[in-house]
Structure 1
Amino acid sequence: MGSAFPRLHVITDARPGRDALGVVTAAVSAAIGYQTPDALAVQVRVEDDVTDRAAYEFGLAVARICRPAGVMFLVNDRLDVAVAVDADGAHVGADDLPVPAARAVLGPAAVLGATCREPVSARAAVAAGATYLGVGPAFRTSTKAGLPEPLGAAGVAAVAEAVGSAPVIAIGGVSVDEVGELRARGAYGVAVVGALAVAADPEATTTALLKALA
């Protein structure tokens, strides 16, 4: 893994009917082909009803794809799984452990992402030890149910301005077409789920996203 923090975060869509491992393989292949493995991170996300054993085994499968390529590998929500599979870190949402507690579990060297939607909580998360912030939903998305109203590029910009140098990763309804606007408004990078999960050619789509983020 290189020294730069990844600008593209690929979040697994492990719902029935999705080829999550195929998408991860394609994304990693694209990063290697584009000679930017340190520009990519893969975040393991599974449904809430998935057992710990299944989440662990899925995490190991993703790790086997990412580690040889030097691609950052994180686990969403389940800190125990992140530790068990020796991930580079984890990402916590609003209903997960608070950032200080998550930092205590993961240790000082791990990457820790936190979901935030507005400047006050974003500043607090960074002060408490978050490495980066996932901000969204930026735009409307059907990938995850029960999400609040989209922030738009302006909402992402407000958080980015509030936290200074801490990387802001915009998530939610993001495709190649939105990258330029989000970057111009202060987003460090983007996270995608559906943009790759339903892509006819996930590898080509990953390459296009990496180029747009460069």
Structure 2
Amino acid sequence: MAVLPILHLTLLPLIIYQATFFASAAVVDPTLGFTLVSLDNSNLVIQKPYNVPVNQRYNFTNGVHQFWIYPTDKSFKIDSNTQPRTEIRISKHEYTSGIWQFEGYGYVPSGTSGVCIMQVFGGSSSATTSQLRVYDGSLTYYKSPHVLSQNIYNRWFRVNAIHDVDANNVKIYIDGVLKRDGVGCGAGTHYFKFGVYAQNDSSNCMESRWKDIKVFKK
């Protein structure tokens, strides 16, 4: 007769944990309450190795931006010592205050590793406030042990990055699920970028694809 109460007490913490886990993993629309910002081609500035034509590192077909880079490529300008990149910088929507949000659908083919595929540029303690990187099929926040999503190769995933400048806070949603909620890197002139930007331990070729790019603000 005493087994059932003991079993109940044993299972209760597990039930509470599962309920908390599933509640925290709820899918939401992070854009609710935000206002859509108008974007056109003039806002999309392509940065690529300075010594090659755009079409050798970038393609846009049927609404999909395709970027690729090699670790031996040059920087995006002759006087820069940064790593090679092929990225789009969202221009004319730089900001220094308020709450801004990037939304887009990303795709990373298998084999791509050691690369930043999306970033919030600008900060006081770092050149960037946020970076989403890919290492061996996992999407990470910078090169921390904080894995945002595993097994991202060869599938489309939704990215929402919300930057609250005044609160110095960055939230990252993947497929509508909050994966990171933490401090940024301070004030600065900020803007969004997406594509491929080589980092440490880069693969022989780095590629990402993006579609349905939007910017929101409050």
For Structure 1 versus Structure 2, the TM-score category normalised by the shorter chain is under 0.3
Greater relative contact order (Cα < 8 A, sep 6+): 2
Larger Rg computed on CA atoms = 2
TM-score, normalising length from structure 2? Answer: 0.25
